[in-house]
A and B are shown apart, each in its own frame.
Chain A
Amino acid sequence: MASIFNVRVERIRPVVPEGGLRALPTVELNERNQALLQAAMAGSIGSPIWRARKGAEARELLALSQIADRFRVIEMRMETDMLVVAELRVPVPCLTDPNQPLQVAPLAVLGLKYPEAVLTEALPGLAFVQILLPSHVWLAQVPLDPRQPLCLGPRMPLGIPLREIVILTYGALSMQTVQLDPGDAAGVLNAEAARFWQANADKIPLTRAPFLSAAEDR
């Protein structure tokens, strides 16, 4: 009998459907995600149009978590605004102490907020994502504020779907999409981090892996 210590356990990675993100509506939710969706829908309140929209966004987000190896929904609530706590496997640069070297965390725990106003207003890029973990994120789009909101741009298009927010977040945290010029009209929220990354442009992006690729093992 082979020793259990010789058995190599591999994480089961999801299969990306042929159509990629376009295939999201056809993805059948697994039991866990179905239960998550039902629980969230049971508490969903608001106008019919908003309840329907939250349901559709939630379904799509859970489907995304099934085809994306790097994204997992931990908790979801839909009482008023839609609130999602999710895990995103993406390198996140952190600077705990300015005298210490930069550290890169392997994942982020995100607080995603999808407010009803998104239906009728073009909301600011700060309105949707907060980095709950790790702390001391060192990016130009994240202010030096323990609340750590992530700025995705001056304003987001009206009715932007939540899946787009997640993908934009991946781009911003991995620095695949980056804005480091404090003089740009879009501005930066942490000028010091912007200067740091301008001086260390060779380290950008932190990963070239596409969102739907297999996430790096921890």
Chain B
Amino acid sequence: MSDACEGSAVEVLPAAVTAAVPHRRERLPQWLGLKIDADGRLDDLRVAVIGNGSVGLAIALAMSRLQVGGLLLADHGRFKMASLLTHDISPRDAALAHQKALYAAKTCRQISPRTPVRAYAGSVQSMPMDALVGCDLVVLATDNVAAEVDVGKRCLRQRKPLYHASVHGETLTAQVRVYRNADAAGACPACSLNRAEIESLNAAAQYKCDGSGVATPTGPAAAVPTRSVSSLCSLAADLAVIEVLKHVLELGPKRGDYVLEYAGYTNKTTVTTLAPRKGACICDHDTVWLPARPPRRLGACSPWELATAAGFPSDLRGVSFAVDQLVFAQAGVCACGMRRRIGRFLAPGARGPEDCSVCRKPVYSDGFFSHRPVASEYLKDAVHRPLQELGAVDPQCVLVAANERAALFTDRADGGATDP
């Protein structure tokens, strides 16, 4: 994972626990109707758990007890003393205000040292494009609409099943929404947004005044905690894990997109089929990002090479490129106000390689003339030059797209959940 953006990826070192942890087989039941090798499936299963709070932490811990093949944990938050009321943590952990993702990752490693775990202690929106590459499915447990929309988009593009666990404390309701994301026709979390949720989406975003991106959420919208009791949170987590298990081990009837809901007041559990994609959904359901391996090290490849390797036409008509979080700066401006050609990939607003020939001051990339993604038309002859010569010294991932189809090139064998 890249450490270029806010909330850099943190590699979790192997736990100091050396005692032999028993294998899951010791407790795994012989499920009724099981037709596949459960052990093998769980060994290969790599899960991303987005949101490691009162629900997500319980999901992460349950996954580590299943000794799954890999875990990616992401959360930008830290524990507070109030977290003690809903999270499975000690008063000491709450007082130390650990980062949730790091704490969850360390605990998961202690429970299952054989599970490679990666933690991303930042906002989900700032995760690299390829963060979910390598994950087989995603479990979402946030109470933040912007994060739900972002994760929904990522899962749709990469056609990864999404399990969204949530609670409604006031009605003692635990809910799991299952989005198969098998094709463009299915629903996504944004399809069911109501007006209030759209408004909360507007209110949730906070930006830095220097234009350098998303600020760490601190406002009232970000401060709203989950109003629930720990038992309801853990119930939602357990329901989500059971649904994941059924999907992975092919247990029970096959379903499309659905909502599983437990209502505490009536003790009723209902399963409702989710309506298909809403016509006016704000998310793009059509574009698919297929994972791809570059012909050689990404930095040594030219945009043209990557596009042709992905099967796009060699004239690159209608093809665009996104390299990590970089923009392609066509032009920049210096202190004297003169615009100069840059023609390189740079961090947004960063200094270009050459200074102004008139005032000798640095030339900075100009927002209007900076593109991400960049169309091949803007790259011109640069499409044949290696990315490292175009300013992307050590790119981690490149998205090559043309209309509904895209190839996500990454050097990492497993962008989501690999062990160092």
Contacts and interface: CB of A to CB of B under 8 A. Distances in A.
Contacts of A119: 282-284
Interface residues of B, number: 46
Contacts of A123: 205, 207
Nearest to B369: A111
Nearest to A129: B368
B404 interface: yes
Q: Taking chain A's interface residues, is the majority helix, strand, or loop, or is none over half, making it mixed?
A: loop
Interface string B188-215: 0010000000100111111101010000
A80 B320 contact: yes
Given A147-B333, A158-B198, A158-B282, A121 B146 contact: yes
A51 B287 CA distance: 12
B209 A189 contact: yes
Contacts of B401: 45
Main secondary structure of the interface of B (DSSP, over half): mixed
B311 interface: no
B276 to A, nearest CB: 16
B149 A146 contact: no
A113 B372 CA distance: 12
Contacts of B258: none
A43 B209 CA distance: 33
B108 to A, nearest CB: 31
A188 to B, nearest CB: 9
B318 interface: yes
Interface string A125-156: 01100101001100000000011010100110
A147 B174 CA distance: 50
A47 B286 contact: yes
B177 to A, nearest CB: 18
Contacts of A120: 149-150, 153, 190, 282-283
Interface string A144-188: 001101010011011100000000000000000000000000010
A155 B206 contact: yes
Interface stretch (B127-135, B374-382, B409-417): B374-382
B341 to A, nearest CB: 15
Interface in B365-416: 366-369, 371-375, 377-378, 401-404
A79 interface: yes
Contact of A43 (B284, B371, B377): B377
Interface centre among B285, B367, B373 (most CB of A within 10 A): B367
Interface of A: 43, 45-51, 79-81, 83, 111, 113, 119-124, 126-127, 130, 132, 135-136, 146-147, 149, 151, 154-155, 157-159, 187, 189
Given A48-B404, A130-B367, A158-B201, 20 more contacts: A43-B377, A45-B318, A49-B286, A79-B377, A79-B378, A80-B371, A80-B373, A80-B374, A80-B375, A81-B371, A119-B282, A120-B153, A122-B205, A126-B209, A130-B368, A132-B368, A135-B337, A146-B333, A147-B368, A154-B207
12 contacts: A48-B404, A49-B285, A79-B375, A79-B378, A111-B369, A113-B367, A121-B201, A146-B334, A147-B366, A155-B202, A158-B201, A159-B282
Interface of B: 125, 146, 149-150, 153, 190, 198, 201-207, 209, 211, 282-287, 318-320, 333-337, 364, 366-369, 371-375, 377-378, 401-404
